Amino acid sequence: MKVGVLALQGDVREHISALIACGVQPTTVRRPSELAAVDALVLPGGESTTIAQLAEIFGLLEPLARRIAAGMPVYGSCAGMILLADEILDAKEGQKTFGGLDITVRRNAFGRQVDSFESDIAFNDGSTDLIRAVFIRAPWVERVGKNVEVLASVDSHPVAVRSGHLLATSFHPELTADHRIHRYFIEEVAKPALQKVQ
Ligand code: GLN
């Protein structure tokens, strides 16, 4: 399986390290030809407005939206969650999104930069171990569509969701040494989704 990391802005390097720790050899994706060469993609944390603008400039916005709609497994952390969401609240005027995930997210929902925080939360992957979650100007999910499963919440706000081939977290597992979410994406989301396609 070829896994790419969208490398326009944000914490690309951290996702690459986490994926390598999970046994895959990721590539960076900046151009449509690089997107065409990967089977699955990670959308990093960063600034969703900047990533969307750069994606448009690099000619990636539409090809990426098409691949997502066609079933490419994608994991988005923080800004990546926003980019996967079908609907964004507190969006910048004209902010674009790749979409595909039937959720409504609220940007910067937990407050401003000074309100960034870390917390140990439950992640519903069958393990009872808590996971260290780093929230940085994070969104939360305000509406989930009927095929969307909530995997983690903070104060009853969903912060990790999955719908078939799409996984999104408001927090940044790439900033911790615990690669459980990346492993979950590779083993439980991407591999089964790609097997179905073949
Ligand atoms: N607040 C950022 C945005 O709206 C997301 C922050 C992050 O990815 N850490 O894109």
Q: Quick: pLDDT tens for 116-128.
A: 999 999 999 999 9
Smallest CA separation from ligand 1 atom 9, residue: 136
Smallest CA separation from ligand 1 atom 5, residue: 79
- Determine the Cα–Cα distance for residues 105 and 186; give it in Å rounded to an integer: 24
Single pTM value for the model: 0.97
Query: What pLDDT score does 114 carry?
Result: 65
- Choose the catalytic residue: 14, 22, 165, 172: 172
- Determine the Cα–Cα distance for residues 12 and 28; give it in Å rounded to an integer: 8
Parts of the chain with a pLDDT under 70: 112-114, 197-198
Query: What pLDDT score does 115 carry?
Result: 77
Burial of 65: CB neighbours in 10 Å, binned 0-12, 13-18, 19+: middle
Torsion sign (Cα): 50, 53, 56, 57: negative
C-beta 105 within 6 A of ligand 1 = no
C-beta 88 within 6 A of ligand 1 = no
Name residues whose C-beta falls within 8 Å of residue 119's C-beta, 6 or more positions apart in sequence.
132, 133, 135, 154
Query: What pLDDT score does 111 carry?
Result: 78
Query: What pLDDT score does 112 carry?
Result: 67
C-beta 45 within 6 A of ligand 1 = yes
Greatest Cα pair distance in the chain: 46
C-beta 137 within 6 A of ligand 1 = yes
| Joined tokens for residue 34 | 């690089």
- Choose the catalytic residue: 78, 165, 179, 182: 78
Sheet with 85-89: strands ordered across:
85-89, 101-106, 140-144
**Amino acid at position 144, single letter:** V
Nearest Cα to Cα of residue 172 among 136, 123, 124, 126: 136
Domains of the chain: 3-197 (3.40.50.880)
Query: What pLDDT score does 142 carry?
Result: 98
Query: What pLDDT score does 113 carry?
Result: 59
Query: What pLDDT score does 83 carry?
Result: 98
Give me ligand 1 centre to Cα 50, in Å: 10
Q: Please report how the helices 48-57 and 61-69 are oriented relative to each other, as an axis angle in degrees rounded to 10.
A: 110
- Determine the Cα–Cα distance for residues 56 and 172; give it in Å rounded to an integer: 24
Is 174 known to be catalytic? yes
